[in-house]
Each structure stands twice: as C-alpha cells, then as structure tokens.
Amino acid sequence: MISGNKWFAAILLICFAAMSSKAQQGEIRGMIIDSAFKLKLPSATVAVYTEDLTLVQFTLTNNFGAFSLKAIPLNKPLRLYASYTGYRIVAKPFRLDSAHLINDFKAINMYRDSITLKTVVVKSVVPVRMNGDTLEFNADAFSLDKNAVVEDLLRKLPSVTVWGDGTITVNGKKVSNVYVEGKPFFGGDARIALQNLEKASVSKIQVYNDVQPDKHADTLKSMNVVLKDDKKTGFFGKAGAGRSLNRNLNDVDLAFNRYSPQTQLGIAGNHNSINKRVNSLNQVFLNSTYKGSLTDDYSTDFSMLGDNKSTAAGLMISRDFLKKPELHRSNQLSGEYFFNKTLTDIRNTTRQTYNFRPDSIQQNEQSEFQQLSPESHQLIMSYLNKKDKRQLDVSLNASNVQNRQLREQESITSRNGEQAFRRTEKYQEDNVTNTVDLKAEYDTRNPAATKAYKGMKVDLFYSYWQEKEDGIKKSELILIDNPETGQLIDRKFNGITNKNRLGANLQGDISRLVLWGAFERMRVNVTLGNAFSYTTTGMDAKVQQYDTLRKAYFVNDYLTNSRQYYLLEETPSLEFNRSFIRASANRYSKALSLAVRLPLAMRFEKSRSEKSFQHYDLGYINLLPSLLINYNNSSVGKHQQRIGFEINFTLIYPGMQMIAPLVDSTYDIIQVGNTLLKAGQELSYKLSYTNSYRDFIFSMAASVINTSNALTTNSTFDEYNRRYLTYMNAVRNNNSGNLELKLRNSYRLSRDNQLQAELTSKNIKYQVTNYHGGNENIVDGFYSSNAVNLDYTFKTLLQLRGGQTFSFNHLKHSYLKTSYKISSLISYVNLQVNPVQHVFVRTDVKYTRQYTASASIPYSIWNASLGCRLLEKRNLELKFSAMDILKQNQSVRNIADDLYVNLSSTNMLQQYFMMSVAYYPRKSGKGK
Amino acid sequence: MRIATIGMICFLISLPRIVLSQSFTVDTLHAREIRIDPSQANGAELADLASSVEYIPLETTGKSYFGKIDRFEIVNNKFIIYDGETDAILIFDTKGRFINKINSIPNTKMSKGSRSLTSFSVDRVRKQIVILAVTADYKLKLAVFDVTGKYISTADVKPADPLARFNMFYALGNNNYTYANTLYNVPKNLIVPDEDKRFELLWGTSPALLYYRFLPFDFTHEVTGSDAQGASFYHSGDTSAFYIKSFRYSVYKVSPHSVKRDYHFVFPYSMTLPETFFTDKLLDGKRDAYLERHNKFITTIDAFYQAGDHLLFSIKSQEALSVVGSMFLYSLKSEMLYALENLAPAEMNNYLPLFAESEGIHVADNNAVYTSVSSAMLLKSKEQMTPDRIRKFPPELKKFFSKATVKENPVIIKVSIKSDI
C-alpha cells in the first residue's frame, strides 16, 4: 500500500508538472453579428483551424454574440471560421506572434443565406453548434486515431467529462440516457454504444435536457449519437479464446451485434472453467466491447466453491416499427433468449461444532462430494406501444430450469468429546421448473388532464409455475456404542407442483369524481386502486420406501399426498395526496407532499388434502394504512435536498408449510405446523435524506422496524439430536434498525486528471426472538460494513482504483448465552496503464483478512495481465494473464450460525496462467 | 393561473339578470394592419432605442419579501405587484421603497391556499385597487383599497352581477368595468340558450345589475371546450384597456361604450395558425398536442402595450425564435420591428442584464417599458465583470451590490424608449 501511495503521488506530480509547463500562447476575441439586421448572434460557432484544417480551438458566442478564445498558438498561419444556421460561413485568416498576443476581430459580419450549405464545408469547419435547445458536436471536426470509438470522441469534447466509473457529465450535469439514433442501443447501457461504435461512423453527438417527470428534480441531460446516413447499419463483436498454460482451464467468448435503423440483433456466448459467472447476454455484450471493458462481475470469481464449468449463450432481437424516433412515441417489439448451463464439483470436509444447550456440545466431522448441474432456458418478449398519453406494455417471460443434484456424505458425530454415531448419505435429485409470466399494462393516466376523468392504469397478469422433482435418498445411521440399532432409509420420491395465478390491478385519479369535486378544491389528489388475484396450487407427491425385510420398494402412505391450495386476494385502496409548494422564482423551490394510503387487504385461503390435518380455511381482512411524507428543497445554483419519511404497516402471513406441513421425519430438521398461527405484524418507519451540490452527494437512509406476533420457531431436540422446529408467534415485540450513509465527490483536477471518491457505511442492528425448549431466546445482532473507494484517471493512459472495506458482525443469544464475532478487512488496488499505444498492463491485488474467534489466515489474490492490439484496425488482441500469482486463494472457511460454528475446507480455483487471443470484427455502413 | 378562480366563479352563477340594449360603437373593420415577420426582426444598440435605463431594487424586508411578479401595474407613482406565490399585492413607490402589502381583506375569511387575490384591477381615475375575492365559503366580495393599500370598503357581489358571471374583469376607471367571457370548459349545449355566452365582451358598472353585451363570438374561429384559451386585458390609458384573445392576432381597445379593433397582426404563412386549426373536429381536446407538433405557429400576442408611437409586445409560440427571442418593439412611424432580447448590455445600463435575462415585459407607461430581473442574475453578472466597470456603477447600484444576496426581491428595470426611432 505504501509503495502504491508513493507511486500515486509521483504520477500526480508528473501531471501537474506537465500542466504548468505551457508555452506562451495568444488570445482572440470579437463579436459575431448580422450587420444587415444589426443582430448579435448568440451561440454562433467560432472555430480556429490551421491551414491544413486541423482544429485548434473552438467556442460558442455568448447571448450577445461575443466570444474570446485563449491558448491560441503563436507564429502559425491560422484561420477563424464563424458559422450560424441560416448564414454563410465567414473565414478570417490571422496570425499571432509575441508582439501581437491578442487579436480583437471586433465585429465579424455574417450574411443570411437561404441556400442550404454544402454539407462538406459545414462538417469540416463547424465543430459545435446550438440547434434550438440542443448542443450538437460535429464528429468530423475532431481528428482522432482512425480506430477511435465514440468514447474517445467524448473525451475530446470540451464541457464533456467521461468519469472513471463510466458516468458522463456535461457541464457538471449527469447524462442520464445515451441513445443511438434516438433509441436505446442493445439494452441501453451506454458503454455498448460508446465503446464499440467507430468515431468515423458518427455524424454528430447531441446533448439536450431531459423532459422532467418531477419538476422539482435537478435537470438531467440526454445524449444522442447520430450516425452518418451511410453508416446507419453495421456490426461489431468479439471472438476470443484463452487456454491456461499450467492447468486444464479454458475461456471462450463470442459476441456479435448487428444494427440497422429499425432492427438490432445480438448473439453472445461464453464457455469457461475459470469461475466467470455469466448471468445475462448484456453482461457478455458489455465485456466484449472493442474498447475493452473488464468489470468485476465478469472476471474470475475466486470465492466460488468447487470446480466450475459454465456455458452460456443467447440471442436478442428488437424491432422498432417507427421509422424515425419520436419523443413521446414508441412502437417496439423485442425478444431475448438465454441459455445457461454449469457443472460444479465440490469436495468438502467440514468440522461443525454445535451448541444445542449450554451443557451439550456436539461435533460433526463430515466429508462430502456434491455435483450440481443446473441448466436454464429463458425467453423474454416484450412489446411497447406509446402514443401521446397512452401506453401499452405487454410482456412474456418463460423459463425452464433443470437441475441434477448429486450428494454423497459421510460423517462422524461426537457428543461431549465421545464418538456417538456415524452416518452415510447418498442423495440424488432431478428437478425441473417451468414458468410462464404474461403481463399486460395499459396506462392512460394524465394528471394534467382538465377533465374529471384523468385516465387509468390497468394491469392484467397471468403466471404459471410448475416444479417436478424426481430423486432417491439413501441414508444410514449407525450408533457407535450399539451398531445394531441404526437407522436405514432408502427411498424414491417424485412430486409435481402446479401453480396458476391470475390477477388484475387498477389505478386512477378520482379527485373530481367524488363529493362533487370537494377534494380537488382542497387540492387533495384522491387515487382509487384495486388489486385482485386468484391463485391455485396443486401439489402431488409420491414417496416409495425400501423395505429391507421384503426387499422391495413400497409406497410410503404418509409422505405420498395430494394437496390443493386456493388463495384469493382482493385489495381495494384509496390514496389521499396533498402537496404544498413554495417556490420563489430564481431563488428556491420547496415542496412538501403528504400521502396517506388506505388499502383494505382481504385474503382468503383454502387448503384441501388427502391428509385431513391439512384441511383448513382462513380469512384475513385488515386495513394496512401507510403515511408518506416527502420534502424537497432546492436552491437555485446551489444545493438540492430531499427528505422522505414513511410509516408502513404490513402483515406477514404464515405460509401453508407453517400451518400444516407434511414432514419427512428422516430429515435432521423437522418442521411442526401450527394451525393457530396469526399473521405477523410489522410497523416500519423509514427516513431518507439526500443532499447534492454539484458533484458532491450525501445520502442517508435509516429505518426502524417494530415486529409483533413475529412468525418464529421453538426448537427442541430428540435423542438423535434431530431438531424439531415448531412454528409459533413470538410473544415479545422486536425492534430492528438500519442506517446507511453514502458520501461521494468527483474532482476534475484538470482536463486530464480526474478523481472520484466515495465513502459508504451500512449498519444493521437486528433483533429476533426464537424459542429453545420453550425458553425465550433473544438474538441480538449487529452488522456493519464501511468502505472507502477511490478512482483516479489520467487521460486514457492510466486508471488507478483502490479501496478498503471493513465489515463486522456480532451475534448474541440471550438464552443460549452464546455470542459470535466475525469481522473482515478487504483492501484492493486495481491499476491499468497503457505505456505505449496499443499495449496495456492491468494488475489488481485484493487482500482479505477475517477476524474470528478461531484462527483465520489472511490472504491476497494478485492478478496481472499484459496485452497488445495488432493489425491495421487494431482488432486482434493478444493477452497473457497470471491469476492468483501468490497462490493464496483460501479454501478454508469459517462460518457461524445461531447454533453452530463451521470450519470447512473446499476445493477452489487457484493460481493459473492463461494465454488468450481475441478478434474484434466491426464494420459500419455498406461497401468497403 | 386564473382557472381556479374561473371555476369558482362559474360555480356560483345561475340567477337571471337584466340586460340593457343601448347604442354602442363596435368597430372591428378599421384596424391598422401590422405585417411583420418576427424571425426577421432587427437588432439594435441599446442607445438606438433607449434614452435611459434605470435599475430599481425593490426593498426587501420580512414584510415586503415576495417571490415573483405575476402582475404589475403602475398608478400614481406606485408599483402595484401581485405575487401568486405568497398570494399578496405589494405596493412600492417608484424608487423601490416598500409602502404596504395587501394579503387579506378585513373581516373576511378567505379560501386558503388559492390565489384568492389574483383577480384585481386598478381604477386609475378613482386611484383605487379593486379586488374580487373568493371567501372561504365560496362567496364573492368586492373589496376596495386605495393605492397605498389602505382599506376602504367591502361589498357582497350578487350572483347576478356581471362580476360574478364572467371570467375576467378590468377596471376602466370611475367604477366602469369590462368583462371577458371565455368558453373554457363551457358545455356546448349551454352556449346557445344563454345569450350572454354568445358575446365575448361586456361592460357595466358595479355594484349593478345593468350591463351591456358586445362583440359576439365568431364561432367559426372560436375554440371551445378544453382547448379554449384565456383572454387578457392590458393597460392602455386611464379609461381604456387593450383586449387580446389567444389564437387570434387582433388587438382591441375597450373603453366605456365602445370597442375598437385597433391593430391586426399578419404573420408569415409558416407561422400563422391554419383555418383547419379552428374547424377540424378531430383536433377537439388535442390542440395542445397539435401545437407541440407544429411548434412554429404563433398562438398568442401577449403583454401588448403602446408607448407613444411604439408598440411593445411578446409573441408566443411553442418553439422560441433563437436569435430574436419573443419580446419586440414595433415603431408605428418607421414600421421597423426590433428584437428586445437581442439588445446587448452597454455602457448606458452599466453592462447589466437586460431583456434577454428578464422576466418579460411587465407594463409600458409614459414612454417607458418595465421589466424585472432576479437579484441572483444581477449578482452573477456583476461577478463576471471587470473592476473598472464595477467602479462606474451609480451610487444606488453600488449600495445595492454592497449588501444584496440572492434572496433579495427582484429588481425592476425601467427602460425609457426614445421618442424618435
């Protein structure tokens, strides 16, 4: 760390030295006017070029046509171009030298021209212009490396800052959306567009203010990348493969994206055995950009257990039926298919120390082999049609997940130091889950409507969920002191659960429709809502047990069951909302809004089963009021504060497994139902505060939750130390609290030096009551995690990130009289340097240290890679990576729960060296 | 802004009334045509148009603090300002010294939270401020104050009184009032049987049940229902007012017993609302969206005043004209149109903000046009100035800048227009 700090300081010194050694430069000023009409031209473009048309400097004139440009090189023939929409371009040659450091052009006359300018001329000499309220940068005016992407162009634009974390700001205001041709590009993440699209295919970059849904919020900006007419279609992608030099490990990436004015198509896939988790198509797209992006969620995860092999692939397509993008209109169909398969082998040895009762200590020595092979298919389709004040949103989400789980376990259990019993277990299960979710939303709400009927939002939904299980379980338990009296379980099971849910939600403003508009006169908005859903669940389970005497499988009548469960939920609700606004034009704006929500939650459950104890009917009717207060205070050109306060009353309904479960007595944990269970009640108070001032943001969120009648369990143990969990309502009320703080500031030290700093703190104090043998046990816990992160970038040459996280967890059981403390310290440094063009070096070190009651070993994971880009288009990448160079990845873990402490050792991925090659094809436009 | 009041007033009307028919001059034929293309307006140096510029900071005390100038009148050397944010009428002298504030009517409980004092007018002959106020129990009262804010009287307004029946009123002096009738959200089936609803202007005295109707609606060019827009009166003289209606390019002068179409504007075809805008039934209820799409059309002439031979006005369209802005000065003599927002700060105004940064034309009176700028804007412009320019400030500006903060009241800018442009 110390050497890191020194290095960091040295880099800063070099940067400042570079900045201070500027050569002598001159200045030009003047005013752009329309002399015929005596008009001063505001936001006219003034650009200075060299004779070979290289852009030197540019600016826009102020409200009254005046401009001034500093840092103009001396002793060079230069040319000033003044331009304004609807006027002929004016060129003025000039030259500055040490005797004439300032040139005042005074008034530069422009002449109106109704003939459209030849685009070639405009492109080359107008780097920026104001088009109405839109600021437009002309890409052709900026000369960059021929392989440059849009992000490189943004870094060249004055007033635009691309931050280390990918955020873009324009004059300090955050760009909230980046569009290409007015539409989101491949899922909307800006980096996919900015790091892939060639600068040469861009016609202009537009920056404009977003339409504000909340007029009290700070203004946000949107950016639109306009492509050249002949470059509106194109493709980009990546084909990469890596092979470990010292182990049998592979990594293959594939991504291909094709775009045209109305259609976007993307295909991506990955196969790896280096613990890279691939959760979505977008993740592959994001990490396959030409510019190269390596986010933490797409690199080796050294914390994953076992040996992992993963294969993922998918396809996305979206079609826009509108030929030209329009602000308030949309007519788009999109679909995505994603496949993911992983194979995990885990070999694990564990020592588990139980504290059942203060006088009883039990220890398990266990070795386990586990194989998991989940495979999932997911299909998402959506259709959006937006027109004026109507919006129709239809979506379909279907998935199929198959998982085969294989587990072999062997354990020896000792009680108070003496061996008590030995157990072997073999478990195999095939599990298939199919889901279908269909949703349609139609929204015609328009709060500004002057009519009494202000529109309505209607949601209709249907979902289907099916789970099939098929498996075998073999388990043998032998008591050491009496080997004859063991327990042998050998059974086959299969089950199927089908769940159908159908519902509708409505919401609309009725302020003027009730009580002759009295509420509207009192400026109270009244919203009427209704949520309805009906769910049926059918569960069929068949269990066969091996009879050792008859040497055959017979149906287990207790566990074989058929159960139906019906749930009807109907919640009409009323919301009253009143806002008080105090705004003083050009000074401040303060808005207070108070809302009271009154939902009447009605819930009816019916359970029917072959087992009579599972027959029950339940009904709940409760008013669940909530209060919301929001306060916004913004001072023009200064801070913006937001305070939110909420009180919510909610119910936690007991599930059917808590009321009447069917329990397999061969498990270690046996659930016992309770038909007298009441719903748990939660009263929560939430307070949030945000204060932002330019690049500085402070936010705080605090909540207190009071729980009464909480759903909890009473634990008892039988002679085999099987744990019985009987569901019950806690007698005592519990309070839990949560406090989160975040402080963030961005410093633009100079045009090339940027620093972002962030401090976060998350603290949770929680209290849960459970029972042990009928005795009340209060679990008091405290969790705290505090982090500091720094991100420094110097041009595109260097990016340095570093940070530290300290977290702490403390648990105390009042009855068990046990307490656990675990804390951990994680420090990391990431550095990327591009020492020469097209060569990059990346290295990162992560140091982890855990503090527990028992011994723990600190470890560091150090990774480094070196790569270069070859070929004319710089689209062939060779890379050598050395991962976990110190070979310290920990396979030993220490975990504590309310009753036990685990010390386990598992096979994990460790040190490997990999050579990889990647090709980034990309092309825009037709032809060459 | 006036919709709430309009709603409440409409809520109360229903009784029969007596209407006199009497000889009356209505002249809509002899208007002077003003043919202009706003996008081709001229720029000018400040000294070409103005003889002097004065910055008048409005005294800021706990009592005189207000938000924004929503209405501005000058009478008897006093600024009468209505601020909707604090729902108060504030009175300052022409040096900016605070005189008084009206934020309630004695012995009257007002409806809270609404802009209850927004409907007021100034009787320039009697030198009185007349407020049509809605009480907490939705009764209408006519309260009278003198121009120093001193309370004089309150009278009930009977439901049959035209004050209660029509959307807007304007004092024409000496207890004469004119009323504008807009058909905002008036159901079509009510228009034909109710004769009053067929006329857009009325005149009468108050309190009185006698009034005169004139200027019948031209229903072929009248937008009704939820598309209907407001009308406005602007100060013209002690006993007259300019009357302008949205979507119409004519300016009427109303005085007791007469209405005359004084000016009619003709704009380029590309900026003029087409005939179908009024007649196309498919546009009913959607004219807002239509204008958003066709953003070059001029929807209204706003803040229209005459100062000698000069007309001062704003032109509203969805899309702003970037070089020339929306505030103009038209010389009736030379027929030249000048873009006020393009006037650059100059030595005459100590290089301080002018129309481009202002809150629009507030009023024109005696060859001077009044606008205002926020103190934050003034402070910002001073921060960017060189010290030698600051040194040249007149004493009153130096005094203002020595203690002013962004929380100060707005600053009035009085621009005296040259008589010969």
- Residue-wise pLDDT for B236-289, tens only, equals 999 999 999 989 899 999 998 889 999 999 999 999 999 889 888 888 878 888
Cross-chain residue pair A450–B185, CB shorter than 8 Å:
yes
Look up residue B53 and give its amino acid: V
Cross-chain residue pair B323–A41, CB shorter than 8 Å:
yes
- Residue-wise pLDDT for A345-371, tens only, equals 999 999 888 776 666 778 889 999 999
Could you tell me which chain B residue has the CA closest to the CA of A131? B322
Could you tell me which chain B residue has the CA closest to the CA of A582? B85
Cross-chain residue pair B67–A132, CB shorter than 8 Å:
no
Nearest-by-Cβ selection for B85 from A63, A132, A584: A584
* Section A768-785 average pLDDT: 94
pLDDT value, residue B185: 66
Residues of A whose CB is below 8 A from B406: 586-587, 636-637
User: A602-622 as b/e, with b when 16 or more CB fall inside 10 Å?
Assistant: ebebebbbeeeebebebeeeb
Residues of A whose CB is below 8 A from B44: 38
Name which of A285-289, A899-903, B363-367 the model is least confident about: A899-903
DSSP label at A515?
Answer: G
- Contact between residue A314 and residue A336 where contact means Cβ atoms under 8 Å apart: yes
Q: Place A911 in a pLDDT band, splitting at 50, 70 and 90.
A: very high
- Contact between residue B41 and residue B324 where contact means Cβ atoms under 8 Å apart: yes
A68 to chain B nearest CA, in Å?
Answer: 14
Q: Place B10 in a pLDDT band, splitting at 50, 70 and 90.
A: very low
pLDDT value, residue A57: 84
B290 to chain A nearest CA, in Å?
Answer: 11
Could you tell me which chain B residue has the CA closest to the CA of A112? B40
Residues of A whose CB is below 8 A from B113: 523
Look up residue A573 and give its amino acid: S
The β-bridge partners of A701 are: A688, A740
* Section A627-636 average pLDDT: 91
Judged by a CB distance cut-off of 8 A, whether residue B356 touches chain A is: yes
Judged by a CB distance cut-off of 8 A, whether residue B329 touches chain A is: no
Name which of A790-794, A856-860, B55-59 the model is least confident about: A856-860
Q: Place B187 in a pLDDT band, splitting at 50, 70 and 90.
A: low
- Contact between residue A378 and residue A428 where contact means Cβ atoms under 8 Å apart: no
Burial of B61 (0-12, 13-18, 19+ CB in 10 A): exposed
Look at residue A3 and tell me whether its pLDDT is greater than 60: no
Cross-chain residue pair B319–A132, CB shorter than 8 Å:
yes
Judged by a CB distance cut-off of 8 A, whether residue B318 touches chain A is: no
Residues of A whose CB is below 8 A from B346: none
- Residue-wise pLDDT for A6-24, tens only, equals 444 444 444 444 444 445 7
A588 to chain B nearest CA, in Å?
Answer: 9
Residues of B whose CB is below 8 A from A132: 319-320, 322
Judged by a CB distance cut-off of 8 A, whether residue B385 touches chain A is: no
Q: Does residue A485 or residue B244 have the better pLDDT?
A: B244
| Pairing relationship of beta strands A912-919 and A234-244 according to DSSP bridges | antiparallel
- Residue-wise pLDDT for A111-122, tens only, equals 887 654 444 444
DSSP label at A508?
Answer: E
Residues of A whose CB is below 8 A from B357: 63
A636 to chain B nearest CA, in Å?
Answer: 9
Share of chain A above pLDDT 70, in %: 93
pLDDT value, residue B100: 96
DSSP label at A614?
Answer: G
Q: Place B145 in a pLDDT band, splitting at 50, 70 and 90.
A: very high
pLDDT value, residue A928: 47
Look up residue A351 and give its amino acid: R
Judged by a CB distance cut-off of 8 A, whether residue B67 touches chain A is: yes
Q: Place B384 in a pLDDT band, splitting at 50, 70 and 90.
A: confident
Q: Write out the residues of chain A at the interface with chain B, using a CB-CB cutoff of 8 A.
A: 33-34, 37-43, 63-66, 130, 132, 388, 450-451, 523, 582-587, 636-637
Phi, psi of A4 (to 5 degrees): -60, -45
Cross-chain residue pair B339–A41, CB shorter than 8 Å:
no
* Section B386-413 average pLDDT: 90
Share of chain B above pLDDT 70, in %: 89
Q: Place B208 in a pLDDT band, splitting at 50, 70 and 90.
A: low
pLDDT value, residue B118: 80
- Residue-wise pLDDT for B157-169, tens only, equals 887 787 877 768 8
Name which of A703-712, A749-758, B386-395 the model is least confident about: A749-758
Cross-chain residue pair B289–A65, CB shorter than 8 Å:
no
- Contact between residue B17 and residue B131 where contact means Cβ atoms under 8 Å apart: no
- Residue-wise pLDDT for A798-825, tens only, equals 999 999 999 999 989 898 888 888 889 9
- Residue-wise pLDDT for A96-142, tens only, equals 998 888 999 989 998 887 654 444 444 556 788 887 778 888 888 88
* Section A178-202 average pLDDT: 89
- Contact between residue A780 and residue A755 where contact means Cβ atoms under 8 Å apart: no
- Residue-wise pLDDT for A574-593, tens only, equals 999 999 987 776 678 889 99
Cross-chain residue pair B319–A38, CB shorter than 8 Å:
no
Could you tell me which chain A residue has the CA closest to the CA of B7? A521
pLDDT value, residue A58: 86
Phi, psi of B313 (to 5 degrees): -160, 165
* Section A551-568 average pLDDT: 93
Nearest-by-Cβ selection for A582 from B41, B85, B323: B85
Cross-chain residue pair A65–B344, CB shorter than 8 Å:
yes
Nearest-by-Cβ selection for B374 from A34, A523, A585: A585
Nearest-by-Cβ selection for A63 from B40, B66, B356: B356
Q: CA A311, CA A277: separation in Å to the nearest integer?
A: 9
DSSP label at A272?
Answer: E
Joined together, the tokens standing for residue A724 give 């019985």
- Residue-wise pLDDT for A453-483, tens only, equals 888 999 999 999 999 999 999 988 888 888 7
Phi, psi of A723 (to 5 degrees): -100, 125
Residues of A whose CB is below 8 A from B67: 583-585, 587
Q: CA A831, CA B47: separation in Å to the nearest integer?
A: 61
- Contact between residue B412 and residue B79 where contact means Cβ atoms under 8 Å apart: yes
Joined together, the tokens standing for residue A854 give 């028992």
Residues of A whose CB is below 8 A from B42: 37-39
pLDDT value, residue A462: 98
Q: CA B175, CA B152: separation in Å to the nearest integer?
A: 14
**CA A897 to chain CA centroid, nearest Å:** 29
- Residue-wise pLDDT for A593-621, tens only, equals 999 999 999 999 999 999 999 999 999 99
- Residue-wise pLDDT for B97-108, tens only, equals 999 999 888 888
Look up residue B364 and give its amino acid: A
Residue of B5, B115, B342 to mutate, testing the A interface (most A Cβ within 10 Å of its Cβ): B342
Residues of B whose CB is below 8 A from A34: 43, 323
The mean of the pLDDT values for chain A is 87
Residue with tokens 């207790």: A558
Cross-chain residue pair B45–A33, CB shorter than 8 Å:
no
- Residue-wise pLDDT for A294-347, tens only, equals 666 788 999 899 999 999 999 999 998 988 777 678 899 999 999 999 999 999
Cross-chain residue pair A587–B406, CB shorter than 8 Å:
yes
Residues of A whose CB is below 8 A from B319: 132
> Minimal CA–CA distance to A332: which of A321, A343, A346?
A321
Residues of A whose CB is below 8 A from B410: 586
Could you tell me which chain A residue has the CA closest to the CA of B67? A584
Residues making up chain B, counted from first to last? 421
Burial of B402 (0-12, 13-18, 19+ CB in 10 A): exposed
pLDDT value, residue A11: 44
pLDDT value, residue B204: 81
pLDDT value, residue A216: 44
Share of chain A above pLDDT 90, in %: 53
pLDDT value, residue B192: 63
Residues of A whose CB is below 8 A from B320: 132
Nearest-by-Cβ selection for A586 from B43, B48, B374: B374
pLDDT value, residue B86: 83
Cross-chain residue pair B45–A582, CB shorter than 8 Å:
no
